[in-house]
Structure 1
Amino acid sequence: MRKIILISLSATALLLALSISHAVDLWPYSPDSEGKWGYINQNGILVLPKRFDYARTFAPNGLAAVKVNNKWGFIDDQGQWVIRPHFDYVESFDRSKNAKVQLGKKWGLIDEKGHWIVEPKFEFLGSFINGLARAQNEKWGFIDLSGNWAISPRFSWVRRFEKNGLATVELDGKSGFVDTNGETPIKPILDEVYLFSDNGLAAGKIDNKWGYLNEKGQWAIEPTFDQVRSFGHLDIAPVKLYGKWGFIDTNGAFVIKARFDQAMGFSRNGLAAVAIDGLWGFVGESGNWAIEPQFSTANRFYEDNTAPVSTKDKIGLIDIAGNWIIETHGFHVKQRDKLGRSVVLSWGRDNKLKYGVINSAGEFIVPPFYDDIRPKEHGLIFVRFGGGLRYGYLDADLQPLTFSIDEIFEEPKPPMSLVKRAVDGNAEAQEKLAQTYFFGILVKQDYSLAFKWNKAAAIQGRLAPQYALSNMYEKGLGVEPDMVLALMWQYISLENGPENPNYRGQQLEDRLEQQAIEAAKTLAAKCTSSKYEECPQ
């Protein structure tokens, strides 16, 4: 079991500025989740036709990873193949102009021409940092750019190297650190570890107590605490002792007495969120209340000196004085950018939670219409709608670029490619389409259509649809109730899964007369012996 705990020091993921430059001003686009992909420009005009099964954003070197006929390759901004599609999976080119690719179940590394830098011979291959990458072939170690083991594969797991030249490793369920020479200055004897903070200290746990180690593996602060967090701003760390949280300095001395029920690290503005008696507030580095405890929830301050909080009846953002900047009653602030715009989750049409964008006054500038909003590393914002099946972009003014507002409110439909495969007789597609309608996954629930497609898949020998038909006949879902046919499909399912724990034939038999049981057996035998051609309609 992996016991590495990662502590993030960033306040939140920010909406990216719309003016960030991009190597190629083309962006992948597909109107629905299972349609073909092409590329549009910043005006929403389709520049590269929709002919790919999947497409990724262009990398800084001007190449984009695309998928065709279940194989991956790379194209240029003209849509021409630079590296033909023959890989089973790829990652985009990094800033070193190298890309990790997979052939079969093995990973390797190629250059921009598609030439091998590292032959595909590893079960896992990480990114190269200072000439070393973590890799796995049963055991974990680190390789160099020649593909040779620089640090022998002897660990059960490793993490990439940190800035100080140390990497977390695990061996026999214990954690430690290895250096770039393969030595372990911190032996893998710890129960858990955090990453190193900028002050050169890493939290470690041993014998159920936490302390802090330096880069030589020495305890800078002895393991005496019940729980800790990493050092952050002001070189102060939250720690828990005897059931209460306080804050210590790099010498392990308490600078704020342990008296809180919960505590987060300090933000850059010198305030930390803490809870006492069920309410959250904020303290300064002296431990005095900067904002009195009054909130049901609270989080760290963002870079713009606003913090997300909530009370029993309000959700929003406050400033460093505790004043409400955005005060709402119906949505939750998810992300906030430097212009004061925030992605929020709110109640939209039909009383469903949807994403939108508000300004600094808490007013909607993008109504809560969307199933997802994801800013990209360029001037467009990616959105999903239509039950998550439709995709598109918003422009710099946050207006729909590749679709109309009316399209958002069209009743969602199953992907046409799935429907086509089901109509063409693909049993797996028929089963998936039946599940889509039965559970109402991204479409309106329809038991009649679920029954239709379960039946189509069941007579092709699919086990799950056979069980589903039995259930639908038993409960009268999409079809008139018929206990004999419900039991018949249970018997038929035994042909495919005699040891399946979902088998309910015995329970159904207990509810039927012997004559009905015999009828079900006769129908099942006739159905299977005719290879499903003489099954009851």
Structure 2
Amino acid sequence: MNRLTPLLLFMVMILSSCNKETNDYVTAFPYMETDKGKWGMITNDGEVLFSQEFKNQPTVVRNGVFLVKNEANLWEIYKAEKKPEKIGSEYTGATIFSNGRAIVCEKDKYITIIDTEGKTIKTLDEIDGKRVNTVFRFQEGYAKYIAGEDYGVIDMDGNSVIPSNYCAIMDCSDGKFIAIDKKYKTEYKSFCYDKLKYTVLNTKGEILFEIDGSEYNQVGKFKEGLLPVCVKKKDSDTEIWGIINEKQEVVIKPDEKITGIEQIRNGMFTYYSEGGWGLMSLEGKTLIKPKYNYLSFDGDNRLMAYNWDEDKGGMWFVDTNGNQLNKEPYRGAWGFEELDNKHALVMRTDRSYSIIDEQYENLENLPKMVHAENMMGDDAVECNYLDIPQLLDKLNVNQNGMEGVSFKSTPETAVKALSKFLYQYGDEKHPGTSAFWFKDKSKISYDRMTDNVYLSVEINFYGNISYSVSEGQGGYNVEWCDEDNGRKVGYMWNDVKVKSFRLKFSNDVTMKGKLDRMLQELKKRMRKAGRVVKENSGAMVVALDNNRTALIYMQPKEIVMEWGDIGSPESLSIHEYDGVRENLSLTPDEERADGENQDIDMPTDEETATGYDNGEAGDNSYGNTDDIQEPEPDAYD
């Protein structure tokens, strides 16, 4: 899956968090007066609500409240007042409020919808009879959710609007959803968009029409009844973009000069061509030449234009003819629409922020602001409830194997049993269950997610799993394939048995803070399956009743269990695991993702290596595979 760069994540956040129809605006934002100080809060018109109040950075204010992490890394909610008043509980995950609703989850509980007083509107344990794993931030009054491995949509009160029958869904835009039916899951995960169909639904969950991926390889989001679409040229990776309407009539014919379309608004659209972003009318007239590194609407007749190289201009507000509106270039900005349509927050120089009015004048009597950030809370909230015994039962973890594979399994039967988890295998020539993928390999490995728990599995065999044979060799069960060089090659399964299993749980998502509970449950199960030979606080070795060995141990970020032919119980050392405790600190990647924290500093060249030809971008189109939220390959169950 393509990934958004930090810049484009910032752009997506700005563009998606505006909601003109409901006036659901940001009304205040966090700032710091000194590099080593604490965070305060200032309103759009420059009134300081409080200063030097919070050690951790708060979110922006919407609906009169904001969120901030405490020392236990849990979200707290406060009313945006001179003396902030805490409301509600503490949460492992929380989105920013939208129209008086937020998605939250308390420790060891299911996801809930709450109001601005912290009162529960609805508990989202199950939707349409399926356990809910994840719920995303509200957009246009609706939120996507994941149940099992599939996506659906709920309204502001938690009622099901679109059942979880889709492997991907875009956020609501222009009152429509674009989704991919789960029957196309294999094609979607393999990026074979020409072999799937996009389903367009309304906010009642009714299917309006379908778009064939063989005609339009990628699609953007609807805006003003129009949809950006992509055509991939034959025998080339080149993608050209155009626009269709709700009747699927061509409004802008896909053109080689247009290799990306971002936003559509007021009879105009931003487009990418020959290394830059410009503005064009729906009649095909160029209004602003494609000369900017990024260009986005900030109102019907105003745009924000970025040049990363400050020597070439920095960031400017421009009109639809490209005329500069502000008197000085900025390093970055949160536009007028992001706030109240009357003010914008700008970064004038390094560590110098200001608020400007509609005449692009700096407001007077502002405090010194060396940092000001657009923190929006979590983009998605994960369920934190976990029944560990039930999880292990679901995985069928026992002394003889797991997930339908045992020590008696052959490679062929093991691969078939695990086929739905082996998404990394399979192409047009070789299905994922083909012996081709395991030639000269002695183990099957896969990562996946179930009940919001990440797990990694390795199954080792006594020898190679499969091998290749030339034409004329082999028996009746050879899988023959015509290779690119014209030769016919066959692949056969070896008749070898399973040697050992390795199961690892990482302390991500729901498992965070629960490693010790998992350790104790695994110990309990293996203790019943044999004789404990060694044990300390962080590990255990068991001589199993099936004449094999089990080793269970804790590391700071994971729990591992290995069992099978892994050595004699007496030979295994567990001294290094004694006293090990779970490390609850965030990884660098988690810290970057935590709270969707986005500064408005001008991104570096490295950050803005956007890879436009690969279709990476933000709000309205151009890289729709990022807008359609998908689970990681090999992940969800």
Q: Please, what TM-score do these two structures have when normalized by structure 1?
A: 0.45
Say which one has the larger Rg. 1
TM-score, normalised relative to structure 2: 0.39
Larger relative contact order (Cα-Cα within 8 Å, sequence gap ≥ 6)? 2
